[in-house]
Amino acid sequence: MNIKEEGDIAIYIHIPFCIKKCYYCDFNSYPLRGEDVYGYLSALKSEIKEKALLLRKEQRKVSTIYIGGGTPTCLSGEELGRILSLCKEGFSLTCDAEITVEANPGTLSEDKLILLLNEGVNRLSIGAQTFNDELLKRIGRLHKTVDIVSNYNLARDVGFNNISMDLIFGLPGQSLGEWMETLHMAVNMKPDHISTYNLVIEEGSKFYEDMKRGEIAPLEEELDLEMYTKAKEELEGAGYEQYEISNFAKTGKECRHNLVYWRNGEYLGLGPGAHSYFKGIRFSNFRSIPQYIRGVLSGSPVEEREIIDEVVSMWETIFLGLRLTKEGVGLARFKERFGHNLKEVYGRQLEYLQGQNLISFENGHLILTSKGAILANRVFIEFAP
């Protein structure tokens, strides 16, 4: 895992549509309706052209494109194809650029997959979530286990050689046994990359309302923790390396797009509610589709801007970097970036956290210990300015 892309940019494109919103989801997505899609797509196309022009002026290359959502694959193959070809025309891509599309089982057909492959998509991220039909139903997913398997096999047959699978644990009513079964089934299918997310019941989701009414409750912490530990054991046993708190990959199949975030690199987000970090400023687009469209038409879809000063940037570098469980924060890289030694800036915090056995230094990198990984927030706040 030696990917060095300083100077290169990651591009995120947000597709804010789903056929139906899942019960745990608080992301920026809306039910799919024809008239919205049309306006959105034309605004997005303008934004792609405008951002492409900007990067060309800056002579910046693009090393990853990630089309996420929502459910990008709920758009037609042609619509997705148009977005992708505009990107390829506009951005100056590196020769080995990673191009990912998120897909939900049941939204993939052979034609759509071939079209994506032909447009240069070289990575698929499938939102499997769990392999238990009853649970899938309870969390508001529209697919069944068989859809995961058939769509996955279809993608392999068509020629995708880099497929990731998203799994979610800690669902209300989920047992450790069910989670283990999901892990087995996922591992047996041999995806190249697996993300395991722990359910957080967020305000804005249906689950949040259910929880307020007392209909569901978050899992016991001990069980949650056991699910996490078992996932790590299971996946590492099957040859996946944990490279980030929630992410596991076969050698060389780490998600390069997400690595840009964790290494506190630069990226541009396009589409409603998408976030960017460019030239020391974090900014985000309007979340609502109509506002986003109006923004693009009148010159800028940006809703919020925040200038990141050096102190905050150092903190971000640490709390993002430490999520990378193997790589952590490179001391040399930190020094190169900020001109300060990490050990000098945070002497007191490092001493305290080492004393608590939450962090350690490995070959010039600051990393979380296994205890630190499950108490990561406690570690991160110590570095807050």
| Residue type for position 155 | A
Closer to another protein at the Cβ: 204 or 364? 204
Closer to another protein at the Cβ: 210 or 316? 316
Closer to another protein at the Cβ: 144 or 275? 275
Give min distance, CB of 379 to another protein, in A.
Answer: 9
Q: Cα dist. 198→22, 94, 170, 225 in Å?
A: 15, 34, 6, 10
The whole-angstrom distance between residue 190's C-alpha and the CA centroid of its chain comes to: 20
Phi, psi of 299 (to 5 degrees): 115, -35
Give min distance, CB of 252 to another protein, in A.
Answer: 21
Give min distance, CB of 236 to another protein, in A.
Answer: 16
Task: With both helix axes pointing from N to C terminus, report the angle between 221-237 and 176-188 in degrees, rounded to the nearest 10.
Answer: 20
Q: Round the CA-based radius of gyration of the chain to a whole number and report it.
A: 21
Closer to another protein at the Cβ: 117 or 374? 374
Give min distance, CB of 34 to another protein, in A.
Answer: 26
Give min distance, CB of 244 to another protein, in A.
Answer: 10
Closer to another protein at the Cβ: 12 or 152? 12
Closer to another protein at the Cβ: 77 or 321? 321
Phi, psi of 139 (to 5 degrees): -100, 5
Residues that bind another protein (CB under 8 A): 12, 14, 68, 195-198, 200, 221-222, 224-225, 228, 245-246, 258, 261, 267, 269, 274-277, 282, 284, 304, 306, 312, 315-316, 319-320, 356, 373-378, 380-381, 384
Closer to another protein at the Cβ: 158 or 223? 223
- Please give the structure tokens belonging to residue 96: 């080995």
Give min distance, CB of 281 to another protein, in A.
Answer: 11
Give min distance, CB of 158 to another protein, in A.
Answer: 26
